[in-house]
Amino acid sequence: MAIFKLEETKKAPSTINGKLRWILDNLVSTPVDVAFSLVILFLLYIIIPPFVEWAIINANFAGTTKADCTGDGACWVFIIHKIDFFIYGFYPEEEIYRINWIFGLLIAFLALFKYVGKTYTTKIAIFSLFPIIAYFLITGGSFGLVEVPTFKWGGLTLTLVISSIGIVTAMPIGIILAFGRQSRLPIIRSLSILYIEFIRGVPLITILFMGSVILPMFFPEGMTFDKLLRVLIVITLFQAAYVAEVIRGGLQAIPKGQYEAADSEGLSYWQKMLIIILPQAIKVSIPNLVGNAIGLFKDTTLVLIIGLFDLLTMVGLTSADSHWTGFETEGYVFVAIIFWVFCFSLSRYSKVLEDRLNTENK
Amino acid sequence: MDSIIKIDKLHKWYGDFHVLKNINLNVKEGEIIVVCGPSGSGKSTLIRCINYLEQFQEGTVTVDGIELEDDVKKIKALRKNVTMIFQQFNLFPHLSVLQNLILAPRHVKGATKKEAIDTAMKYLERVNIAEQADKYPNQLSGGQQQRVAIARGLCKNPKIMLFDEPTSALDPEMINEVLDVMVELAKENKTMVCVTHEMGFAKKVADRVIFMDQGQIIEENTPKEFFENPQSDRLKQFLEQIITD
């Protein structure tokens, strides 16, 4: 018979962790790894220095006209000169302060939401107050504000309006469609499936065209419908089908025991779905929901084809100015950076949300 | 005394599979019934019929005066007085322990938040786990989770408690902490129907033990007679296999 003493817990030796170990393991562990690492280093060498030279070292930042752009590099003077177009579109210059107010309010409301919204009621109140104020500020026509018709909206403002409204309003509709697709009632189930599969089978461009060109043909004579509103409805309905499928995936990941426990606790169908099942399903679906949101954010550029001037369209419009011809590259690089910043922030936010909702090892 | 659970000529099929065959069982208020039998014998299905998690095709089940059928109001009334403890605990992982406990009292019984929290803490103390109230279920051990599940069931002050193999998913060293809680409960005149293989528990607290095989009740007796004097060959064989010491 033998009896053993309990061993002391020791710290892992430094050769196991650490940066050097990581490089050895991941970048140069086999000849193929070494080859890949070298090729990638070479590609970075070809791309990065010339770009930095063009965008920063040889670029022109100061000045007011095209003539001030003397260097070989980028002419950022163009962007600085046209920045209002990129951000506000054709929104009247003297009314632009209203949009700045909305951006400011957005930040204020986010802070309120985080620090003041303790209960669901206050959170919902804060969440619903912002769009109402923003709506009155941006459209005008009341409270002594000049009305700005939607065809004057454009640039980043329009892109943000379309994508945020699309993303937010598609959520509840998508959730209801996902519940519908799982329903025990055959009519509700088939209608949900029909809707989801129809929308998913058709490109967004087609639906946009239908909404803006074909649909008005069926309206009675003299009835008009704001073009932007039509786009918002179409985009919401489109996005809802995708949200529904993502949520359905989340719903399928919830063990049957959760449904049974909720039933056995005596919760009603809606209590069960909204309090127990949906929060867990959304948690599982966050990466895909954010992925869809990013997709929609970029898809908003398609509204160009039905005559709305989003951020991307502004590149074409501004570089068509006869005083500023030939600066498409600067325009596209600038717009690409803006898109990247927004999309990357969304994807980081999704990571933060996932970590916060993780109750496994808190 | 009248029976609180009356099961009469109950038949159930899963597709073509005849899972429950002509079950007749009456349980009096305050009675403690242990159901045992080999796996696949229909014991879980039987107790799941009692709170209508499973629907059945023939026969009647009457619980606390409510004849079970596909009627939202009746089922809601039924579940106010019946609770079930599951093998896999089935706590809600996105809610803290306390939130798990106050959910049904608040949303089903209409208690105020304060009442619900007071009740919840009372039952958490009874299952010796009050200090974990703010943790999330996945941070607890299996035995602790099952005790939380029992406390959650108690919060709506049910007349009937159903246990579906409450200790089968637990590590051996955690089984007793759950059984101890169940033994305590048994002293309190709550009607309990337990599917379990813990024969020590059956001997200690059961009023009747039921043996099921192939969807039927084969034998039913007081624990003493059941273990010391089994009648059918199948029960004898079953007892030989599970009682090894």
pLDDT tops 60 at residue B1:
no
Interval B45-56: pLDDT, tens: 999 999 999 999
User: Chain B contact for A264, CB < 8 A?
Assistant: yes
Strand ranges, E, within chain A:
154, 309-310
User: Chain A contact for B51, CB < 8 A?
Assistant: yes
* Residue B61, H or E segment: strand B58-63
pLDDT tops 50 at residue B205:
yes
Q: Return the residue matching tokens 């043909």.
A: A217
Domains in chain A: ranges and CATH: 153-357 (1.10.3720.10)
Residue B3 bridge partners (DSSP): B28
Taking an 8 Å cut-off on Cβ atoms, the answer to whether A257 and B88 are in contact is yes
Question: How far does the CA of residue A295 sit from the closest CA of chain B (Å)?
Answer: 28
Interval A238-272: pLDDT, tens: 999 999 999 999 999 999 999 999 999 999 999 99
Q: Is the dihedral of CA B168, B169, B173, B179 positive or negative?
A: negative
* ipTM confidence score: 0.92
A262 interaction partners in chain B (CB closer than 8 Å)? 92
Lowest mean pLDDT across A16-20, A303-307, B9-13: A16-20
Average pLDDT over every residue of B129-136: 91
Average pLDDT of chain A to the nearest whole number = 86
Question: CA A299, CA A163: separation in Å to the nearest integer?
Answer: 9
Burial group, residue A178, by CB count within 10 angstroms (0-12, 13-18, 19+) = buried
Average pLDDT over every residue of B212-220: 92
User: Chain B contact for A276, CB < 8 A?
Assistant: yes
User: Chain A contact for B92, CB < 8 A?
Assistant: yes
pLDDT tops 80 at residue B201:
yes
Tokens encoding B32:
């403690």
A257 interaction partners in chain B (CB closer than 8 Å)? 86, 88, 90
Interval A135-149: pLDDT, tens: 888 887 777 778 788
Interval B75-126: pLDDT, tens: 998 998 999 999 999 999 999 999 999 999 998 888 889 999 999 999 999 8
pLDDT tops 90 at residue A342:
yes
* Residue B12, H or E segment: strand B3-14
Question: How far does the CA of residue B100 sit from the closest CA of chain A (Å)?
Answer: 10
Interval A160-210: pLDDT, tens: 999 999 999 999 999 999 999 998 899 999 999 999 999 999 999 898 888
pLDDT tops 80 at residue A69:
no
Question: CA A53, CA A83: separation in Å to the nearest integer?
Answer: 23
SS3 B217: strand
Q: Which residue has the higher pLDDT, B133 or A74?
A: B133
B51 interaction partners in chain A (CB closer than 8 Å)? 264
B84 interaction partners in chain A (CB closer than 8 Å)? 260, 264
Interval A168-179: pLDDT, tens: 999 999 999 999
Taking an 8 Å cut-off on Cβ atoms, the answer to whether B79 and A359 are in contact is no
